[in-house]
Amino acid sequence: MSGKGAPEVSVEKCGDLRVAVVAAQWHETVMDGLVDGALRAAREAGTGEPTLLRVPGSFELPVAVAALARKGYDAVVALGVVVRGGTPHFDYVCQGVTQGLTQVAVETGVPVGFGVLTCDDEAQALDRAGLPGSAEDKGHEATTAAVATAVALRSLS
């Protein structure tokens, strides 16, 4: 299981943080689970309802996340799903999204929650989507990580 060894991270009372979630539209069932987990994590942290922006696919995540990071959000969460197919397309999309989101975080100083599932098949994605019967809830984890990092960075001020 990919979640083995993960730390227990929780944050509370972050009502002054502005959080945004950017979610791709491909793989609707999986994305519904990821978005639900992300919104639940934000509520649990006390940030209130985050801004939710939908984009066509995972490749479009970095540009949307960058726009929100530049608009003063304290944390932005990227949610998407890329399922391996029979062509190199999977590798190009995964590499581009990962590098793009990393670049946004480093250049803006805004934590970016990485909730992009890169799976061999749809069953793996469903198992990580936070749906009933899923082993993991990556939308919740990505949001909690981004908010916790925002809190940690704020403590440096």
- How confident is the model at residue 6, as a pLDDT? 65
59 is in an annotated binding site: yes
Q: Which domains does the chain have, with CATH numbers?
A: 28-36+47-154 (3.40.50.960)
Q: Is 66 exposed, middle or buried (0-12, 13-18, 19+ CB in 10 A)?
A: buried
Look at residue 3 in the predicted model and tell me its pLDDT.
57
What is the reported pLDDT for 66?
98
pLDDT at residue 77, rounded to an integer = 98
Q: Tell me how crowded residue 35 is: count the other CB atoms within 10 A of its CB.
A: 21
Residue 87 labeled ligand binder: yes
Residue-level pLDDT at 156: 87
> Is residue 89 among the annotated active site residues?
yes
d(CA 73, CA 65): 10
Task: Report pTM.
Answer: 0.92
pLDDT value at residue 15: 78
Flag whether 70 is marked binding: no
Is 96 known as a binding-site position? no
Residue pLDDT tens, the chain, 157 long: 455 666 676 676 677 899 999 999 999 999 999 999 999 999 999 998 899 999 999 999 999 999 999 999 999 999 999 999 888 888 899 999 999 999 999 999 999 999 999 999 999 999 999 999 999 999 999 999 999 999 999 888 7
Looking at 13, 89, 107, 120, which residue is catalytic? 89
Q: Is 22 annotated as a binding residue?
A: no
